[in-house]
Chains A and B, each alone.
Chain A
Amino acid sequence: MTGRERAVAALGGLRRRARSRREVASVPPASVSARDLAAEAVAGLFSRPGRTALTVLGTVIGLGALVATLGLTRTADNRIVGRFDEVAATEVVVSARPVSQDAVPNTLPWDAPARLARLNGVVAAGNLSTVEVGDALVTTSPVSDPQRRTDLKLAVDAASVDLFTAVRATLRSGRLFDRGHSRRGDRIAVLGPNAAERLGITGVEQLPAISVGDEVFAVAGVLDSVARQHDLLSAVIIPEGTARTLYGLGSPEVVVIETDIGATALIAEQAPFALAPAKPQGLKAAYAPEQKRVREAVQSDLTLLFLMLGAVSLIVGAIGIANVTLVSVMERTGEIGLRRALGATRRHIACQFLLESSVMGCVGGIVGASLGTLVVVGVAAYQGWTPVLDPLVPIAAPLIGAVTGFVAGTYPALRAARMEPVDALRFGT
């Protein structure tokens, strides 16, 4: 052995020892860090940005539709609830239950508003009764005008002074009647705006008067609007005392109560006791009209339709992702072979493609949620509503998108993982 050979042998021995320390007994198995895998997946997506964008579009539309639908439903619901708050959620109407003919009738007391005002939760209460005027017609003029029909069939209602507060009436012209008018039985009337219009009365400056049958009333004021008991808009309203004197009104027909928000159930329970302590079961207190439920039912049908549309677009989006990922797997056969040669296991290959499809779905979810939110805000702004969106919805959308992408990528990823590296290297370029 020459000196040189000895030196080489020694060097080889050194190198061998250094090497063998690196791989004691067994081979370190191939493994990948999550960060590297994510970087590879993102790089894979960005290598064909146009195609990736188009693929993501399906998920964007699907999740955008879902988010927009949920948001708009909530926004619209909120609007209904808002109106409901103002009117129905604070309204209790107490009436007497009818009895069989010979029994003593149930009646409401005249001082019902005063009695109810003592209950905690009552904002205002007022009596309202329909006045039986028989066939009497209402007219402004004693003269018959051939051009225009001046005698009309209008409802005549008797109201206690507090009723106007309880129905949140606003005046267009003139004034309301007061307790004095009622006590004296003055012939004075307040007109609903529709009634005033039909009678041709625009204001009270001319001191107009109307006659109901043979009785003449001075018009004190014209209402502008009421929040509830919309029949009042087309009625002639006279003081309760006047109705008692002139038309023999026996007792109030209903008591309209405005409560604090959330107090309707409580007041509905207490009012009969306050008004008829001897026989509370003779009175009926109604609140939360049925009308609202009908509206909700219609709303939920529409919502369901849109949600189904969103779900269908999501499925179409998922099929798109599956399709494109599959094409991508076929195109990248060579890359799969190369990665296997560089030490990737089947699992690594599957993970990479699954991650790519999941990222596509997730990005679709993010973009879709953003667009959906914009739609909700836009529609709400246009309609002048308050946009309402469950914060979970835009958070869940990317998650749902990612799950969709994951599911869509499963089959292509398995195809990629199942490839034999030798075949992949031979057939792929």
Chain B
Amino acid sequence: MAAAPDAGAPPVVDVRGLWRRFGADPPVEALRGVDLRISRGEWVAILGPSGSGKSTLLHVIGCLDQPTEGTYVFNDLDIASLSDRERAGLRSREFGFVFQSFHLLSHRTVAENVMVGEVYRKGFRGDRRERAAAVLERVGLGHRIDFQPTKLSGGERQRTAIARALLGEPRLLLCDEPTGNLDSATAGRILDLFQELNAQGLTILMITHAPEVAERAGRRVGIVDGILEEAA
């Protein structure tokens, strides 16, 4: 079902010997020498209990946080060499984020929520509203375009958030417990959507603590105490 990972091409994410320490005296080591490569078209799930460092890893890969040590090359681009503004540009144009708590703006319509990221992509092509409508259609929310998020079900809210992430045509979709706030049936339908998007060629990195959610991904990686181990 999933598109074949593009093995010959350079990996989208290439992380080597990544450490992330918080505080001093004694420092908390959230990531301890993590190596991870994600190829184009892969759907990777990182499975770990809370406090295992999976969120930190997602934030570092999403350029929301910086590693203490180690190299991170994203699509042939050494992240350490980028300025703050360039990392922000990368977040805006290369990554899409989906969060457990959706992070929708409650006073704006679904369409406005989807378009909010466009503000930071000055000069990006095309008519925003048309593209927002198209991407909402793609996640199955075409009929909710002018609704307030407060009127939506949990699954619809997450679909809105996914549409928002997809609008910038990201190279990598980063999902932080995307089904954590949803019941299992709704979660299943969201995972179906991910599978569909993955089949269309989208690279997805998802973190979760639930093995049955990780089960759906093409590739599973476990993380315990900041150390990754590839699952069979």
What residues make up the interface of A, taking CB atoms closer than 8 Å to B? 5, 8-9, 12-13, 15-16, 19, 23, 26-33, 36-37, 39-40, 43, 46-48, 334-335, 337-346, 348, 420-422, 425, 428-429
Contacts and interface: CB of A to CB of B under 8 A. Distances in A.
Contacts of A30: 85, 88-89, 91-92, 120-121
Contacts of A338: 97, 99, 103, 105, 116
B91 A342 contact: yes
A196 B85 CA distance: 91
Nearest to A340: B64
11 contacts: A9-B8, A27-B86, A27-B90, A29-B89, A32-B122, A33-B122, A334-B103, A335-B105, A342-B120, A422-B65, A428-B103
Interface string B76-114: 010000111111111111110101010101111000100
Given A9-B6, A27-B77, A33-B122, A343 B64 contact: no
A28 B90 CA distance: 8
Given A12-B6, A16-B9, A335 B103 contact: yes
Contacts of A335: 103, 105
Nearest to B161: A338
Given A33-B122, A36-B122, A343 B88 contact: yes
Contacts of B105: 47, 335, 338
Nearest to B4: A8
Nearest to B58: A422
A422 B59 contact: yes
Contact of B85 (A8, A29, A40, A428): A29
Contacts of A346: 84
Nearest to B95: A341
A343 B93 contact: yes
Given A32-B119, A33-B122, A334-B101, A343 B92 contact: yes
Contact of B93 (A8, A15, A27): A27
A425 B101 CA distance: 9
Interface in B31-57: 40
Contacts of B82: 27
A335 B113 CA distance: 11
Interface of B: 3-4, 6, 8-9, 40, 59, 62, 64-65, 77, 82-95, 97, 99, 101, 103, 105-108, 112, 116-123, 164, 168, 171, 201
A43 B108 contact: yes
Most A-side CB within 10 Å, residue of B4, B8, B83, B105:
B105
A425 B40 CA distance: 27
Given A27-B93, A338-B103, A425-B99, 13 more contacts: A9-B6, A12-B6, A29-B86, A29-B88, A29-B89, A40-B116, A341-B64, A341-B91, A341-B95, A343-B88, A343-B168, A422-B64, A428-B103
B97 A341 contact: yes
A341 B106 CA distance: 18
Nearest to B59: A422
Nearest to B113: A338
Contacts of B90: 27, 343
A346 B108 CA distance: 23
B103 A345 contact: no
Contacts of B103: 334-335, 337-338, 425, 428-429
B50 to A, nearest CB: 12
Given A334-B103, A335-B105, A338-B103, A343 B91 contact: yes
Most A-side CB within 10 Å, residue of B9, B62, B64, B88:
B88
Contacts of A428: 103
B115 to A, nearest CB: 10
The 5 closest A-B pairs by CB, nearest first: A343-B92, A47-B107, A343-B120, A30-B88, A342-B117
A422 B174 CA distance: 14
Contacts of B107: 43, 46-48
B64 A425 contact: yes
Nearest to A348: B120
A31 B65 CA distance: 20
A422 B58 CA distance: 10
Nearest to A49: B107
A342 B93 contact: no
Given A37-B119, A343-B121, A425-B103, A8 B86 contact: no
A343 B97 CA distance: 11
B154 to A, nearest CB: 14
Nearest to A31: B122
A345 B88 contact: yes
A348 B85 CA distance: 10
Contacts of B89: 27-31, 343
A46 to B, nearest CB: 8
Nearest to A48: B107
Nearest to A43: B108
A418 to B, nearest CB: 13
A351 to B, nearest CB: 11
Nearest to A19: B171
Nearest to A421: B64
Contacts of B6: 8-9, 12
Nearest to B74: A27
B78 to A, nearest CB: 11
Contacts of A37: 119
B59 A36 contact: no
A262 to B, nearest CB: 61
A355 to B, nearest CB: 12
Nearest to B104: A338
